Each structure stands twice: as C-alpha cells, then as structure tokens.
Amino acid sequence: MSAARTVWLTGLPSAGKTTIAQALVARLVESGRRAELLDGDEVRKAICGGLGFSRADRDENVRRIGYVADLLSRNGVWAVCAVVSPYRQARDELRRLHHGRFAEVWVSTPHEVCATRDVKGLYARQRSGDMSGLTGADDPYEPPLRPELVLPTHELPLAECVDRLWNELVAAHSELATTP
C-alpha cells in the first residue's frame, strides 16, 4: 500500500486535467491510499508567487511542483498533478528526478475543443487581444513523445478516463509493488 507515484497530467488549458485529477484523487483516497492534488493554478499561488508565463518561469513553475510531488510520492503519498507544463524538457527532467515513480499522462484534447469549452475564459480573452501567451493558441505546446497514457477527453467520457488511469497506473503499479 505504501508505494506511490506522481501522476503528471499535461495538456492545453481546458483540456480536462483538473477534473480528471480530482476524480482520481477521490478514488485513491476512497481506496485508503494517501493522495494529494497539486493543481497548477493553486500551487502557483502557494509557492510560485512572482513567476510569470515566460518559458523560463513556466519551467521553474513545473520544477517546483515536481519537487513537491517527489517529496510526497517518495513517502507513499500519491501526487496527482494537473499542470499545463508545455515544454518537453522540463517534464523529462521531472521524470529523471522521480527515479521510476513518474507517470506522464497526456490529456490530448485538441485546441478546437479546449477553445470551445474555455472554462476560464482564457481563449476568448486571447482572441479579443486582451491577453497573449496562451498555450496552444499563441504559445507553444510540446506533446509527450512516450507518455504512460493518453486520454482524449473529446472521445472518452470522464468515467472512462478515470478508469483507464486507475487500471493502468494505480492497480497495475500496486500489483507490481506488492510482488515479492
């Protein structure tokens, strides 16, 4: 029961990362596991005050959240992270930091669908010229090359996404971890 991982959900704004992460954390806690949701927007306020949205600041943001996730998961607490994290190199560095405890999940909802959902109104603001540097609109997003899992939320219902996460990353991992 004590082996945990960092589950890192990456994808465009409004791709569905936070919703999936919340559902996974709830299921982990229900099953008696320790788990924390590290949501990009929330953690930014807690430990990334002063950082902006340049590439350097985005990478530093990812690095800090990854540092906290590593502290948790190496102590048996599942760290479920929902962070845009647009740059491949920063995510790959987190994978190395975690020594095998890292699962990268690409929430692959395409730009057109995200821009229609537009949960926080960011795409509308970008289109109207009110903001710039929006990942997937006028700022780059580098998809994972070898993610542990791809979740196309535009093709699968939420429950199916969470089931896949559970079966492929939690259940399988727990069996491995308890094999002598």
Beta strand 102-107 pairing with 6-10: parallel
Minimum separation from the CB atom of position 64 to its own copies (A): 5
Selected from 26, 71, 172, 177, the binder of its own copies by CB under 8 A is 71
Using the contact rule CB under 8 A, the part of the chain among 43-51, 80-88, 122-130, 137-145 near its own copies is 43-51
Both structure tokens of 82: 């929902």
Site string for its own copies, 151-180 (x = CB under 8 A): ------------------------------
Q: Which of 14, 85, 132, 174 is catalytic?
A: 85
What angle separates helix 55-73 from helix 88-98, to the nearest 10 degrees? 20
Distances (CA, A) of 171 to 70, 107, 123, 128: 20, 20, 36, 45
User: Could you say whether residue 50 binds its own copies (CB under 8 A)?
Assistant: yes
The answer to whether 128 is a known catalytic residue is no
CA 161, 164, 168, 174: dihedral to nearest 10 degrees?
Answer: 90
User: Could you say whether residue 80 binds its own copies (CB under 8 A)?
Assistant: no
User: Could you say whether residue 52 binds its own copies (CB under 8 A)?
Assistant: no
